[in-house]
Amino acid sequence: MQFSVKQPAPVKGHLPVLLPMRSTGEAMPLTDKVFNLWTAALLFLACAAALVTPALAQQDGEGQRTILDILIEWTPTIGSGFAFNVLISVCSMAVGTVLGVGLGILQVSPLRIVRQISWVITQFFRNSPWLVLLFYCILLIPFQIELFGTEVPFPGWIKAVLGLSLPVMAYMSEYVRGAIMSIPVGQWESAESLGFNRAQTMREIILPQTVKRILPSWMNLYAVLTMATPLVSIVGVNDVMALTRAALSAEGRVDLLIPMYLYILCWFFIYCYPISALTRRLERKFSVQL
Amino acid sequence: MDSTSLIEWLRPDWFFDLAVVSDEYNRGRYLAGLWMTIQLSVISIVLSLIVGAVGAAAQGAQSRTLRALVGFFVAFFRNTPPLVQLYFFYFAIGTVLQITGDNGRPVPLVSNFGWAIISLSLFAGALNVEIFRAGIEAVPKSTVEAAEALGYKRLQIYKDIVLPLAVRISLPALGTNLVNLVKTTTLAYAIAVPELLYVAAQIWSEDLNVQEMMNVLLLSYVAIVGVLVWVLHHWEKKLRIPGYGR
Amino acid sequence: MAWTSDQPIISLKDVHKSFGNTEVLRGITMEVQKGEVVCIIGPSGSGKSTLIRCINALNDIQSGSITVEGQEVSDPKLDKLELRKKVGMVFQQYNLFPHKTALQNVMMAPVKVLKQDRKDVEERARALLRKVRLEGKEDSYPGELSGGQQQRVAIARSLAMNPDVMLFDEVTAALDPETVKEVLQTIKTLASEGMTCILVTHEMGFAREIADCIYFTDRGVIVESGPPATFFDEAKDPRTREFLSQIL
């Protein structure tokens, strides 16, 4: 930023120390002299053009379609695939949150053995790679289970949902435990003095106060989970990634590769970026109060 | 597989058979996979730290364009799935980036191992930029001003004063990120890098001992992560400044 | 042996309490009669707060006995709910539930713990808030109230359980001087209505005004006790005199 202070008319009869400070400011950095918003935008467009134009410039040749056409043609399929990913993420989040809150409450139990077992479970699922847990669930959960005399089918995506909910459970357990520990001990004491038992204290007083503290982390976890859903394509679920690769091999065009993958990346970006931005805003809002 | 009753499915007898310990051939393969995972982890960690440090420095630069570029880089890698990033690098860019090999056929310039490293380093590096940035901003302005008053130049301040303090402040978050990086190395399975998960999958598809291999695999990763956590904890303790921070 | 009101309502006999290796209470013996107002004073670290927390079973004791209306507090099979119905406690840090309004704070325990009818409880709660002169603040959240107002809500909350004894643990220590007065006024009203009160406090003037008996603790023992007149003017023990000379 360049700034300078105009030298005022000389003041006679005063000591130099009373004169206002003259500053020439800092010189504009070279990068900003060369690049400003305009040149940056031009540069960006140039790069984009370099990547995309060879693909777009495909003309004629036996009714060869342009890349743009192909992308548009595949969009409904990709959209439905992406919706499937969102469904998986929502289901996993729901299951993982319920299990995680329970596990987190167990981690602060007055019984030492309960605390230790739940801690071990939390650490185990926290430190396991998500893909390995997915494989575990896909391969080891039988494809149907006999419960109470009826056969309950377990399609692949349900197993994937369970597989993804395990790390969510572990992370939620940590968040819940941290939030409960951050509630001042005076709350527990005054509840106890009023005659509340532990379950009532937890339900009426402690947990409602933790919700606000956990919310930003919970939203961030959802964004991370959504970005982990393409993993299910590795274990055989037909999500947007599997569909994309099928589409690419169906089209068989090398120049489609980069645009198609960029396209998928954009879908995820447009979905996840608002969540991250909202999370950051909530974090700032809540941190002031605590 | 027929419909199994729930009780039978929960039988615990597969807990105690650690297949790789007994079989020598499998053990060799497994250890090779383990070594590959360790290589992926260590190289990616180092590169991601460099990316993070450079990016964090750039985010404090006076040039608005530079800040915007780094911001875009971070936003891109934070809000897109790492698997899709990996596929993008390996399948999309990797296919295009081919040179003619000795026998006249196109050969990829970068191997799948290389792309895995690049993708993982950039992904973790982008997250590190944010972590380092938070650490740098947590260094009190007064400390920096005192250094300026003593005559330090900007780069010197960054190197000698800001960075050491910022590293200590950001160690917990950094540790979490590095642990996640180790877990993320499993993605390399998708592009046929022979790391631990890939090797394990080979073994269980040959020997049909999925349950045992799964246990070994989970225990291995818990062990690797455990070692990393211990190292980080030790490092944090060594770096601790008495009376500063918590 | 059922308790009758001619017996002391609270009785402590040779109570010892340690935190780890530090012995905080070293043989406390005292009796409180029904309707009596008792003030406990002393230097910090002398065990005053620990003492009344032990009465309410928030801390356990290593040896000795504490009885409240005949119920043995140190009994491992203590029915805590019974005890808490008889004893109400107000803390230095108010400890109101921040996610509930003042009225809800007062109503919660009788409704959830005593399972009383909601409508009756609400009526009583409003009357209590009126009594502590917080009419109009029923729907305010603790974050919107001043320290003194929060403390008065805390008093109303404990009163909602209809206790026979009220314990006050340095309730004005965290307040600024102007708001201290309003809280003390509330306690004074309570005392004049015949509530048995035990106060741990630094407010000497207040203690002199309302106490029936003052206990001075130092390093875990009761050094001296007596009615305010004799206590403040004719203190016998040199430790008491030293303490009083420092603060008066």
Task: Give how far A208 is from chain C: nearest CA, Å.
Answer: 8
Structure tokens belonging to residue C197 = 């009160």
> Is B87 strand, coil or helix?
helix
CA-to-CA separations, B109 to A179, B99, B112, B123, in angstroms, rounded: 49, 6, 10, 21
Q: What is the pLDDT of residue B156?
A: 81
Distances (CA, A) of C24 to B95, B155, C46, C61, C94: 75, 56, 7, 10, 24
Which chains share 3+ C-beta pairs under 8 angstroms with B? A
ipTM for the predicted complex: 0.82
**Which pLDDT score is estimated for C197?**
94
Residue C68 and residue C9 in contact, taking contact as beta carbons nearer than 8 Å = yes
Note the pLDDT of residue B167: 81
Looking at chain A from residue 207 to 266, which residues have their Cβ under 8 Å from any Cβ of chain C?
208-209
The mean pLDDT value of chain C amounts to: 89
Q: Confirm whether pTM is higher than 0.90.
A: no
Residues in a beta bridge with B243: none
Contact A195 C81 (CB under 8 A): yes
The mean per-residue pLDDT over the stretch C35-57 comes to 90
Nearest chain B residue to A134 by CA: give it.
B214
Residue at A159: amino acid letter: K
pLDDT higher than threshold 70 for residue C67: yes
Query: Rounded distance, CA B49 to CA B127, Å?
Result: 10
For residue A205, the chain C residues in CB contact (below 8 A) are: 97
Q: What is the dihedral of CA B168, B170, B173, B176, to 10 degrees?
A: -50
The 10 Å CB-count burial string (b at 16+, else e) for B217-240 is: bbebbbebbeebbeebeeeeeeee
- A196 in contact with C, Cβ within 8 Å: yes
CB spacing of B82 vs A258 below 8 angstroms: no
pLDDT given at position B1? 45
Q: Do B6 and A230 touch (CB under 8 A)?
A: no
Q: Which of A31, A125, A132, A148 to mutate to test the interface with B (most CBs of B within 10 A)?
A: A132
Q: Which of A187, A192, A209 sits opposite C58 (nearest CB)?
A: A192
Which member of C80, C87, C91 has the closest CB to residue A190?
A: C91
Say if the Cβ atoms of A208 and C99 lie within 8 Å. yes
Chains C and B share 3 or more Cβ pairs within 8 Å: no
What residue type is A235 in one-letter code? V
- Cross-sheet strand order for the sheet of C37-41: C87-90, C165-169, C196-200, C37-41, C213-218, C221-226
Q: A194 and C58 in contact by Cβ < 8 A?
A: no
Closest Cα in chain A, distance from residue C113 (Å): 6
Tens of pLDDT along B191-210?
999 999 999 998 888 888 78
| CB contact at 8 A, B60 and A29 | no
- Tell me the chain B residues in contact with residue A35 when contact means C-beta distances shorter than 8 Å: 63, 65
Higher per-residue pLDDT: A56 or B35: B35
Is any Cβ of chain A less than 8 angstroms from the Cβ of B103? no
**Surface-to-core class of residue A289, CB atoms within 10 Å of its CB (0-12 exposed, 13-18 middle, 19+ buried):** exposed
Using the Cβ of B108 and the Cβ atoms of chain A, whether some distance falls under 8 Å is answered with no
* Each residue's pLDDT expressed in tens, for chain A with a length of 290 residues: 456 666 666 656 656 555 555 555 555 555 555 555 566 666 667 766 666 655 555 544 445 677 788 888 889 999 999 999 999 999 999 999 999 999 999 999 999 999 999 999 998 998 899 999 999 888 888 777 777 777 777 888 999 999 999 999 999 999 999 999 989 999 999 999 999 999 999 999 999 999 988 998 899 999 999 999 999 999 989 999 999 999 988 888 888 888 899 999 999 999 999 998 888 888 888 764 43
Residue B236 has pLDDT above 50, yes or no: yes
What residue in B sits closest to A266 (Cα-Cα)?
A: B80
Q: What is the pLDDT of residues C183-232, one digit of tens each?
A: 999 999 999 999 999 999 988 888 888 999 999 998 899 988 889 988 88
Residue type, position C9, single letter:
I
Torsion, CA A112, CA B235, CA B174, CA A224, rounded to 10: -40
Per-residue pLDDT for C179 more than 90?
no
Is the pLDDT assigned to residue C245 strictly greater than 90? Answer: no
Which of A228, A233, A265 comes nearest B88 by C-beta? A265
Task: Look at A186 and C98 and tell me if their CB atoms are within 8 Å.
Answer: no
Chain A interface includes B232 (CB < 8 A)? no
Q: What percent of chain C has pLDDT over 90?
A: 53
B201 touches chain A (CB under 8 A): yes
Chain A residues whose beta carbon lies within 8 Å of the beta carbon of residue B61: 29, 31
φ and ψ of C169, to 5 deg: -100, 90
Lowest mean pLDDT segment, chosen from A157-161, B88-92, B101-105, C12-16? B101-105
Q: In this structure, are residues C28 and C53 in contact, taking their beta carbons and an 8 Å threshold?
A: no
DSSP SS3 for C17: strand
